[in-house]
Amino acid sequence: MTGAIPGEQHPEQRPTGERMPRQRHEPAGPIALHVDDRSGSSVITARAVASFEPVGRSVATARSFVRDTLQGWGFADIVDDAVVLTSELVTNAVVHAGTEAEVLCLRTEPGVRIEVSDRYPEREVPLQNAHAVMGSPDREGGRGLQLCAALASRWGVEYTSTHKNVWFQLDLPERALGTRTAGPALPTDLLPTADGRVRVAVLQIDRKGSVSAWNEDAEELFGYAADEVVGKPLTDLAAWPHTPGTGTGIAEALQLSRWEGSYGVRRADGRVAPVYASHLRVRDTGGEPSTVCLLVRDHERAVLQTPSRVPAGDQGGAEGPSADPFEVFIGSPAPDDLDGLLQRTVERARDMLDGDSAFLLLATDDETELEVRASTGLPSARQRFARVPVEAGPGRYGSARMPAVHEDLTSVPGAVPLLTGTGMRSVVTVPLKVEGRLTGSLGVAAEGPGRYSNEEALRLQFAADRIALAVESARLGELERLRRGSLSFLVEASDLLAGTLDRDQTLALMAQMTVPTLATWCAVYTIADPASDPYLSYVLHEDEELIDGIKSLLSKIPPPEAVLTPGAQVWPLPGEVAHQAALRSSMRSLGLAGGPAQQVTAGIGPTLATASAVGGETVVLPLVARNRVIGMLILGKPTDEHFRQEILELAEDLSRRAALALDNARLYSERTAISQSLQRSLLPPGLPHIDGVEVDVIYRAAGEGNEVGGDFYDLFPIGDGAYGFAIGDVCGTGPNAAAVTGLARHALRLLAREGLSGPAVLERLNSAILDEGDRSRFLTLLYGELRPQPNGGAEMKMVCAGHPLPLRLRQDGTVETAAEPQPLLGVIEDLELYEETVTLDPGDVLLCVTDGVTERREGTRMLGDDGLADVLTTCTGLTAGAVAARILRAVERFASDAPSDDMAILAMRVPGLQQD
């Protein structure tokens, strides 16, 4: 509750017994000079008081209360110091002591006195004797009294049985009579511009928010007569900006004791006129509140705008160092993104200490390194994600955990490695801490030596303390968004990598997922075996025109060392070599290499472009799978850019997944090659040429990647002009079926060449299959011996052991079976097989197929033996190759789905007499 109470009694003049006699604590040393009893002779002209609950948000509410109260009283010169002291004391009460806090503001003739009371009298301040020393500025608590000693004109502490009360007095600075602020004399051309007569619109808004007064300048500026707007809400006229990050609307602004800023007013012609306004909350003699609004054109804001407060360091007074709270230091509204907040922080820090440059670094999670996140006034090489160690030592950032001032960096080279080679001589750095944990470091530097002292360090530390929590909160929010994005990225990457077993495609996916999401360019080295050197397998850049240049560069330098150690390792060689090559090329083009001057050609372009492309940070990530380094993933940035730690961690996760996918692709390729080689060994090397007989074979193995299935065929010479032929089908699929296929084909050739008859050959093959034991498979087989006849025909002796019967196509188009069915092989030991003889006349065809042909299905329909015979009747007069092709085409067209079973088609034809 706020109100002016002229002539109100001083709190010390309250009735006896309302407060116990105060306990006065005299601090030791220089601090005692600032401690004084509150003078009872000061006349109190206004009083405001508010209570705050013991919750964290109360500190911000208390700051706003004090700021609004003092601005309403016209004490803008001391608002900042009062807000800082109130913030510290209320924090001690509601956060550290955990009690309700009461803030009392008293306006007096010399200035303002503020009291902060809490309900924890047992918790005394640490000033009990002359030897007591207040806590270090690096402690998270206990700074409130130090600030009182540094900023307040007078301060004190008192206790009652139920309360502890800390108070401080801030006196207004002495100014010339009648002068509140003043500026220097300026040349005419530097003065603000106004359009002719400056018109100041004066509006008065009642407690309901409606216009109650409207002057002539308002009529001229906005086009409304007074009777048109009086009684209407100001919200009908004002075009209030909705600024992200601030929740103050026009209704809230009208309730503040003082407000100043820009908005728009809708003119009578429908256009919006931008204005600059100053609002003052007043009350009439009857106690009725209203708000007086002064408005000018926005470009004439200098008429109303309050001059910025001169920094304390420039006032030359005895008030000591000044500290800016978060709202004043950062500005309002504060940026809602981390990068914007950090960049504004370094700019404000540089301006506050009148420096030439400023920088802000954020600590990694383990606090072992600091990462540059924002800078101003420094070369680009010092910007964005460069990292330095925290602990003391050569080349390390030894002043990260404590405030530090270096008057001349030339006397302590390497003390602040970030500034090496920048020309900065003096620097002040302070830590950013949250709950005692190092979260970052803020520094300001100047080109001249001796520019900063402990006073500037204290001011900068106060500013760092105000922003540390906001920065950490924004950093954690950004980190959470990065982690969510990283999880989504890794899930998608895992799906893509798991979707292929092709080595080249895996390499391409690795690179495409890396560029440009994680890096500007990348390269992949692969290692075939531990004894092999790394091989450059893939290069990708977001600009395709630069790929060849980078590939050429990497092929000319030694590859990075393959190490099993996880994590990213910096590899500076590409950047160094590219820089040297570009330098030599430039010198040659200018005739500086000892030879005649040469005209600059386009050939220099790729060299310079490559040097720029790989001139930033380059890191190596090992590709480790099954405890072996199988390659390396190289990530690179262009000139003067660095990787942020979160990106490197994400790249490390990706490299682990990519390494396993690449190794799986390698193993699959190797095993596929072995499988294909073994499968090809099961097929006949080729068909022999047989005089007087046309032979053609079509073979189709079902299943992806299969060259040989359970079906097989063979045609081979036996001797004395005879040839053996076979077509069979092993039960089942896979390696065991393929093993029986190989056994059958090789056994048939060996036994037939021993001069055994067809039945004897099959009986011995049957025994060999049964000897395989658990690996044995039953086998259907058509085996025969072909002997061309001098008269142009061909004699065939065949044994059909459980196989689809061969079909004979005569020259007149009739089709008949050419053998009788007999028992299949691999089931019983004692077989009694017999041989059948068939003579093919000129023009006849003998067709032998496996059951993949006859059992071709479409729903409930099956091609069958009859269907095959029907197709064969249409093949009269065709060659053996044409017959086989027509049978295959008929099988494929019989059903819409692709064949699901192996197929073998063997066609043998005796040419007709007319073709001889």
Mean local confidence (pLDDT), 246-269: 78
Residue 773: CB atoms within 10 A of its CB come to: 6
**Exposure b/e, 680-692, CB count within 10 A at least 16 = b:** eebbbeeeeebeb
Predicted confidence (pLDDT) at residue 734 exceeds the cutoff of 90: no
Residue 269 contacts by C-beta under 8 Å, 6 or more apart in sequence?
Answer: 223
Q: How far apart are CA 398 and CA 389, in angstroms?
A: 8
Q: What pLDDT does 135 receive?
A: 44
Distances (CA, A) of 567 to 132, 623, 725: 50, 10, 63
The phi and psi torsions of 788 (rounded to 5 degrees) equal -60, 145
pLDDT confidence bin for 4, thresholds 50/70/90: very low
> Parallel, antiparallel, or unpaired: how do β-strands 794-801 and 807-809 relate?
unpaired
| DSSP calls for 293-342 | EEEEEGGGGGGTPPPPPPPGGGT--SS------HHHHH-SSPPSSHHHHH
Predicted confidence (pLDDT) at residue 599 exceeds the cutoff of 50: no
Coil, strand or helix at 260: strand
Angle between helices 79-91 and 144-151 (to 10 degrees): 160
pLDDT confidence bin for 228, thresholds 50/70/90: very high
Q: What pLDDT does 313 receive?
A: 39
Q: How far apart are CA 365 and CA 379, in angstroms?
A: 27
Mean local confidence (pLDDT), 701-710: 62
Percent of the chain with pLDDT over 70: 79
Q: What digits encode the pLDDT tens for the residues 378-397?
A: 765 445 566 677 764 444 45
Cα diameter, the chain = 148
Lowest average pLDDT, out of 129-143, 265-279, 511-525, 712-726, goes to: 129-143
Q: What pLDDT does 323 receive?
A: 38
Predicted confidence (pLDDT) at residue 799 exceeds the cutoff of 90: yes
| Stronger pLDDT, 565 or 456, i.e. the higher one | 456
Mean local confidence (pLDDT), 338-343: 82
Mean local confidence (pLDDT), 583-598: 57
Predicted confidence (pLDDT) at residue 555 exceeds the cutoff of 80: yes
| Stronger pLDDT, 313 or 178, i.e. the higher one | 178
Q: What digits encode the pLDDT tens for the residues 738-782?
A: 778 888 888 899 999 888 999 999 999 998 888 887 767 788 999
Coil, strand or helix at 633: strand
| Stronger pLDDT, 127 or 455, i.e. the higher one | 455
Q: What digits encode the pLDDT tens for the residues 817-856?
A: 999 999 999 888 888 899 999 999 999 999 999 988 998 8
pLDDT confidence bin for 568, thresholds 50/70/90: confident
Q: How far apart are CA 553 and CA 527, in angstroms?
A: 19
Mean local confidence (pLDDT), 52-59: 81
Element (H, E) at 20: none
pLDDT confidence bin for 807, thresholds 50/70/90: very high
**How far, in whole angstroms, is CA 597 from its chain's centroid?**
49
Lowest average pLDDT, out of 663-667, 677-681, 876-880, goes to: 677-681
Q: What pLDDT does 467 receive?
A: 83
Residue 428 contacts by C-beta under 8 Å, 6 or more apart in sequence?
Answer: 353, 403, 404, 405, 406, 443, 444, 445, 452, 456, 457, 460
Cβ 480 vs Cβ 471: under 8 Å: no
Predicted confidence (pLDDT) at residue 471 exceeds the cutoff of 60: yes
Q: What pLDDT does 890 receive?
A: 92
- Which residue type sits at 724? G
Q: How far apart are CA 70 and CA 81, in angstroms?
A: 11
| Stronger pLDDT, 21 or 511, i.e. the higher one | 511
Closest CA to 158 of 108, 126, 121, 131: 121
Closest CA to 141 of 92, 204, 85, 76: 92
Closest CA to 392 of 384, 379, 401: 401
Q: What pLDDT does 481 receive?
A: 77
Cβ 368 vs Cβ 390: under 8 Å: yes
Q: How far apart are CA 913 and CA 915, in angstroms?
A: 5
Q: What digits encode the pLDDT tens for the residues 176-223?
A: 555 556 666 777 777 877 777 899 999 999 988 999 999 999 999 999
Question: Tokens for 164?
Answer: 């502890």
Per the listing, tokens 């068939």 go with 838
Mean local confidence (pLDDT), 711-724: 89
Q: What pLDDT does 656 receive?
A: 87
| Stronger pLDDT, 301 or 642, i.e. the higher one | 301
> Parallel, antiparallel, or unpaired: how do β-strands 779-788 and 794-801 relate?
antiparallel
Percent of the chain with pLDDT over 90: 20
Q: What digits encode the pLDDT tens for the residues 862-910?
A: 999 999 999 999 999 999 999 999 999 999 999 888 777 888 999 999 9
Mean local confidence (pLDDT), 424-429: 89
Residue 473 contacts by C-beta under 8 Å, 6 or more apart in sequence?
Answer: none
Mean local confidence (pLDDT), 358-365: 84
HSE of 133, CA atoms in CB hemisphere, 13 A: 3
| Stronger pLDDT, 214 or 77, i.e. the higher one | 214
Report CA dihedral (198, 204, 205, 206) to the nearest 10 degrees: 180
Predicted confidence (pLDDT) at residue 329 exceeds the cutoff of 90: no
The phi and psi torsions of 814 (rounded to 5 degrees) equal -80, 150
Mean local confidence (pLDDT), 624-634: 87
Mean local confidence (pLDDT), 305-311: 59
Q: What pLDDT does 821 receive?
A: 93
Termini Cα distance of the chain: 124
Q: What digits encode the pLDDT tens for the residues 602-628?
A: 444 456 777 777 877 888 999 988 888
In the chain, count H helices and then E strands.
Answer: 19, 35
Mean local confidence (pLDDT), 645-654: 84
Lowest average pLDDT, out of 413-417, 598-602, 796-800, goes to: 598-602
| Stronger pLDDT, 128 or 248, i.e. the higher one | 248
Q: What pLDDT does 143 receive?
A: 55
| Angle at 630 (CA atoms; ends 625, 632), nearest 5 degrees | 110
Q: What digits encode the pLDDT tens for the residues 134-190?
A: 444 444 445 567 777 777 888 888 887 778 888 999 988 776 555 556 666 777 777
Cβ 633 vs Cβ 501: under 8 Å: no
